[in-house]
Amino acid sequence: MPLRLTVTLPRVLLLVTALLIVKVTGVVMLGYVNYFPPNFQSDFLHGRESYFFTRYQWAFYPHIVSGPVSLFLGLVLLSDRFRVRFPHWHRWLGRVQTICVLGVMLPSGLVMAFDAAAGPYATVGFVMLTALTATSTVLGWRAAVQRRFLVHRRWMLRSYVLLCSAVVLRIIGGIGTVLEVQALSFDLLATWASWVVPLIVLELYGLRTRRTQS
Q: What torsion do the CA atoms of 69, 98, 56, 34 make, to the nearest 10 degrees?
A: 0
Evaluate the omega torsion of the peptide bond into residue 37 and state whether it is cis, within 30 degrees of 0.
Answer: yes
Q: Per rule CB under 6 A, is residue 136 in the interface with ligand HEM?
A: no
Minimum CB–partner distance for residue 55 and ligand HEM (Å): 14
Please provide the distance, in angstroms rounded to a whole number, between the alpha carbons at the two ends of the chain.
21
How many residues touch ligand HEM (CB under 6 A)?
Answer: 26
Q: Per rule CB under 6 A, is residue 102 in the interface with ligand HEM?
A: no
Q: Per rule CB under 6 A, is residue 116 in the interface with ligand HEM?
A: yes
Nearest to 105 by CA among 142, 160, 152: 160
Spacing of C-alpha 94 from chain mean position:
16
Minimum CB–partner distance for residue 150 and ligand HEM (Å): 24
Minimum CB–partner distance for residue 121 and ligand HEM (Å): 12
Spacing of C-alpha 81 from chain mean position:
22
C-beta separation of 123 from 113 below 8 A: yes
Question: Applying CB under 6 A, which part among 59-67, 75-83, 144-152, 199-207 lies near ligand HEM?
Answer: 59-67
The smaller minimum CB distance to ligand HEM, of residues 2 and 37, is found at 37
Q: Per rule CB under 6 A, is residue 156 in the interface with ligand HEM?
A: no
Nearest to 48 by CA among 111, 115, 3: 115
**Helix and strand totals (H; E) in the chain:** 10, 0
Among residues 163, 168, 188, 189, the one that binds ligand HEM under rule CB under 6 A? 163
**Residue nearest ligand HEM by beta-carbon distance:** 67
Where does this chain bind ligand HEM (CB under 6 A)? 25, 28, 31, 44, 63-64, 67-68, 70-71, 106, 109, 112-113, 115-118, 126, 129-130, 133, 162-163, 165-166
